[in-house]
Structure 1
C-alpha cells in the first residue's frame, strides 16, 4: 500500500513580494522496482568507496525491491521480516544508511573547501562577502550532526550491523576502523546456555544467541577514509542503540540530567526487529518517537549559517525517512507508522494476507473456542473483557472439573489486574511473570503439575524470554490473542499427553482451549487463523466459533 502526499502549493499559493522566492519540495513518486539483470551500482548513486567493496551479485530480488524504496527516500513498514531474510534486509538498510552518510559528508566537505577558498582570496573581497552572505547553496546541515539512528534490541544485533557497515565501508582494511577491538570485546560473547536435553525452540536459540544485553548506545562517525566507533553523540553521523539505552539518555520530564538534542535532526530512522523491542518495553519506543525533532535546548553544536531552512522552520519530521521492520503485523506498529511518520515523499506498507496462520501447527486434538466480546471503543475493551471474564467465564473455570487451568495473559497490566482479583477472591493459583525468580518459577510449575494449585497466571513476556515447557495444562485460556502468533500453537501443543501427569488418569476429551478477543484484535486473529477466516469470524453474527485439529 502506497501513500504519497499531493502537491497543493498551487491551490494554497500566497501573495509574496517580488524579491521573495517561494520554493516547494517536489512530490514523491512511486518507486520503480530494480531489475536484477540490469543492476548497476553506478546507476544506484552509490559512492565509489562503497562500490569497491560490493560483491556480485549485489542484490537478491527482495533486496532490490527494498532498495528501490530506500533510494527513493520513502518510509517503509515491512512486517514480514524472518530469521531467514533478516541478514538480507540488514545488508540493504546498512548500505542505504552508509551511502546517505557518505553523500552528506562529501557535500559538506566540498562546501567547506569552497568557503575556505573564498575566505582566503584577497583579490576578490567583494565577491567573497557576497558569496558568504548569500550561501544558500551551502545550507547542507541539520541543527546537530547525527543524521542516522538505528534501533535494535540486543548488542548481538548491533554487532552484526557494525560488521556489515565495516565490510561495506572498509572491506578488509582493518586499520580504517577505529576502536573495533574494543567494540568486539564489549558487544561479543555472553551467549546464553541452551540445554541439549529438552532443547528450546529453534527460533528462540537463533534469536538469543550472542550478547543479549539490551542497554547500549554507541556513536559512529565517518570521514572519507575512516570509520570511528565510540564517538560522542554530537560528533557522530550514526547512532546505534537499544530502546532502553536511548530511554536512559533521553530521561523523563523533571529529571535534572537528560539529553535529547541529538535527536533533533535525524534524517533516517531504522527500527529493526521491532517485535522484540515490543517484548522488552514498547513504552521506550513510543518515548523515543515523541522526542524526535524537538527544538534543541542548546545551540552549542549548531552552525546556523549552514543549517537547512526546513530545519530552522521546524519541518525536520517531514524530511525524515523511517524504515520499520517486524516479523508480523500489529496495531502498535501501524500506530507508530501512521501517526509518527510524516515523510513528504510518501510511505509504503506491505500487506501480504496470511493464508493459514499459526493454527495449522497445532497437533493436539482439542476444541479451540473463540469468544468475541462486543465493545464500542478501544478504551472500553479492557473493562469489558475483564467484566466478561470475571462474571461469565471464571465461574465455569472454578469448577473442580476445570482444574489445572492456565491463563495466558499478553498484557502485564491485565496480568496485575487479574492477579489482584484472584488474591481478593482467595482463589487457588500460582503465577509466573517476567519478574519472577527462578526458584519461584520452579515451585509454581511443580505445584501446578501436581494439582496443588487450580490456576496458573502466565504472562506472555515471561514465555518470550524463557520459553519453558509448562507441564500439566488441562485447560488453556487466552485472555487475549498472543502478540506473537507462534505462541498460540506452542502453548496448545503443551497439552499433549507427554506433558501430562499420568497419575491423574488423562482424559483428552475433557481438555479445552478458550480464546477471548475483540474487534480490535483482528490483526492478531489473522495471524493465527488466516486473513480470510478472520474476516469471516469478525463479520459473523455468532459470538463464538470453535476450531478442532484433525489428524
Structure 2
C-alpha cells in the first residue's frame, strides 16, 4: 500500500506543478509548455478490489498511516469507520472465540465486517485524504467486484475505469469463493475508451490513452496464496503489459493427513478430454457411485465433497432423481436451521449420504461428525480443507483409521489442486500414472 500511496502523491504533485507552469505561461503571455501530458480521460488512476469491507478498512488504514501528521486530515473518517467496521457494541464472534475453536486462517479471513457489496472513492490532496469522494473526482477506488459491478450497471457506464494505471486484486482465493464472474466483468470494462469526455482537457491526456493503449501500460498486481485455473486464465487473457508479466511459483509439500490414513486414501484417475470435459460427472455416477452403493460399509456414513458449485447442483439433482438413498445437503445457501438438521440427520444415520460444497466449508467451517467414508468428487482449492475433512471421522470416539475410507477422483487437468494436496512430486507421479 505504501507504493500505491507514493504513486498517488507523486502524480498529484506533478499535476499541481504543471498547473502552476500553465498559469505562469498564461500570465506572462507565453505559449503553454508542451510536456504537460499528466492525466488520463478521468481522474481515478488506482483500483483496489478486495472481497470484504474489513479488508477495505485495513487497506485504507494502511494508506492513511503514511500521511503527514498532524496537519494532514482524513475527511469522512467517522462515516467510513461506521460503514466498514463492526457496528458499535457488536461482538466479533470469531475474534472473541477461544483459541482453536476456528482455524486461524478462517478467523483472519472473516473477522470484522464481511459484507461483500461496497465501493468507496478516495481523493488525495495536498492536505487531506477525502473518503467517499465522487468516482470522477477521486484518485483511488476501493471496492468489491460485486459493488463495482452494481455501480457500472446502474450508471450504464464504466468510464471511471478508463484511466486506471495500477490495479490491485487482493485475496483472490476469497474472490473465487464468491462470484468469479464479477471479477471478470470488472476487468473486462477497464481501460476502455470512455463514452463521454467528462470535461477532460485533451491537451493534458497522456498519448497512450488517446491511442487506446492504456491496458498495455497498466500495472496489475494479483495477490493470492495459491493459483487456480480461473486466475491463470485471467493472467493469460487480461494482463497485456508491454513490459512483460511474471508470476511466482513454488514447490508444494504434501499436506498432512491423520496418522494411519495414508493407505486408506485411494486416488482414482480418469482421462479427461479437456478442462471443461464433463467426464467427471459421468465417471462419478456410472462407476464410482454404483460401487459405493453396493458396499455394505460405504453405502452409509459417506460424505461427498464437491468443489464446484455447478457440479454440486448436478450431483444433488442426480441424488434426488436417480439414487434411491437418503441424503442431506450442506451448501453455501443452507440456512442455520438447514445446517443443524442436516448435521443431526447424518450423525444419527437417518441420512446415509452428506453432500458438502467447498463454498459451504469455506464460509462456515463446521466440524462434521459421523463420517466414515469420504468421497472427493474433486479436490478442494484450499488444500487445508482436505486435511480437515480427513480429520472429521476422528471427532467421534473409538474410530480407528482402518474404519475410514477415502476416494479422490481426479484427472491431469486437476494439476493445481492435486499439487497442493499431494505435493509437487507426488502430483507428478499421480498425473503420470506412476
Once the two structures are TM-superposed, the CA of residue 369 in structure 1 deviates from its matched residue by 0.8
1:77 is aligned to: none
The alpha-carbon deviation at position 375 of structure 1 amounts to 1.3
Checking the alignment, whether the CA contact within 8 Å between 1:179 and 1:228 is kept in structure 2 is: yes
Say yes or no: does 1:180 pair with 2:87: no
Q: From 381, 397, 408, give the equivalent of 1:515.
A: 408
Partner residue in 2 for 1:283: 181
Aligned residue for 1:326, secondary structure, equals coil
The answer to whether the Cα contact below 8 Å between 1:364 and 1:495 also exists between their aligned partners in 2 is: no
d(CA) in 1 for partners of 2:368 and 2:171? 27
Inter-partner Cα distance in structure 2 for 1:521 and 1:109: 52
> Structure 1 residues 300-309 or 453-462, which shifts more?
300-309
For 1:222 and 1:513, the matched residues in 2 are separated by 55
SS at match of 1:270: strand
Q: Provide TM-score, normalisation by structure 1.
A: 0.74
Q: 1:198 to 1:534 in 2, by over 3 A?
A: closer
Identify if the C-alpha distance between structure 1 residues 182 and 112 changes in structure 2 by more than 3 Å, giving closer, same or farther. Answer: same
Q: Which residue of 1 is the match for residue 378 of structure 2?
A: 480
CA drift at 1:302: 2.2
Alignment-derived partner of residue 211 in structure 1 = 113
Local SS of the residue matching 1:473: coil
Q: Give the structure 1 partner of residue 93 of structure 2.
A: 193
Q: Secondary structure at the match of 2:203?
A: coil
2:258 to 362, 376, 380: 362
2:290 is the alignment partner of 1:395: yes
Which runs of 5 or more residues in structure 1 are unaligned? 1-93, 543-551
Alpha-carbon RMSD: 1.8
Specify the alignment match of 1:99 in structure 2: 6
Greater CA radius of gyration, 1 or 2? 1
CA distance in 2, matches of 1:185, 1:507: 51
Q: 1:537 and 2:430 equivalent?
A: yes
How far does the alpha carbon of each residue in 1:322-365 deviate from its partner, in whole angstroms, 9 at most, with x for none? 111111122221221121111112212111211x232x243463
Asked if 1:404 corresponds to 2:301, the answer is: yes
Q: Distance in 2 between matches of 1:236 and 1:357?
A: 46
Over 3 Å counting, the alpha-carbon distance change for 1:198 and 1:106 in structure 2 is closer
Deviation at 1:197, TM superposition (A): 9.3
Give, in whole Å, the separation in 2 of the partners of 1:499 and 1:248: 46
Corresponding residue for residue 417 of structure 2: 524
Q: How does 1:205-354 map to 2 (within 5 A)?
A: 205-251=107-153, 257-354=155-252
Distance 2:71 2:171 in 1: 29
Asked whether the equivalents of residues 409 and 457 of structure 1 are also in contact (C-alpha less than 8 Å), the reply is yes
Runs of 4+ that moved beyond 6 A: none
Instruction: Please state how far the C-alpha of 1:204 moved relative to its aligned partner.
Output: 1.2
In the TM superposition, what is the alpha-carbon distance from 1:301 to its structure 2 partner? Answer: 4.1
Task: Give unmatched runs, 5+ long, in structure 2.
Answer: none
Which structure 2 residues correspond to residues 334-483 of structure 1 after superposition, within 5 A?
334-354=232-252, 356-358=253-255, 360-363=256-259, 365=261, 367-380=264-277, 383-399=278-294, 400-402=296-298, 403-425=300-322, 426-483=324-381
Q: Is the contact made by 1:397 and 1:405 (CA closer than 8 Å) also made in structure 2?
A: no
TM-score by length of 2: 0.94
Match of 1:115 among 10, 13, 22: 22
Deviation at 1:435, TM superposition (A): 0.5
